[in-house]
Amino acid sequence: MALFQRLTTAWMVWTVATKRVGPVGGLVVTAIVVGGLVYLKPWLAENAPVVGRLVGDT
């Protein structure tokens, strides 16, 4: 389920970002957002439990 959530988030971010910064910029923005969510997931689960539950399986 977490993979599906990441793919859905990536699709939404890419769709919005491509309208603003083009396809290459959209790819960069998507990589930053999804990478940031994956990287910050443990920190969010510990320090902001409500947001941590929204981001992933915690």
pLDDT in tens, 10-35: 899 999 999 999 999 999 999 999 88
pTM metric for this prediction: 0.73
3 state SS for the chain: CHHHHHHHHHHHHHHHHHHHHHHHHHHHHHHHHHHHHHHHHHHHHHHCHHHHHHHCCC
Q: Would you state the pLDDT for residue 57?
A: 59
Mean of pLDDT over the chain: 84
Q: What is the pLDDT of residue 58?
A: 44
Residue 8: pLDDT above 50? Answer: yes
User: Is the predicted pLDDT of residue 53 greater than 80, yes or no?
Assistant: no
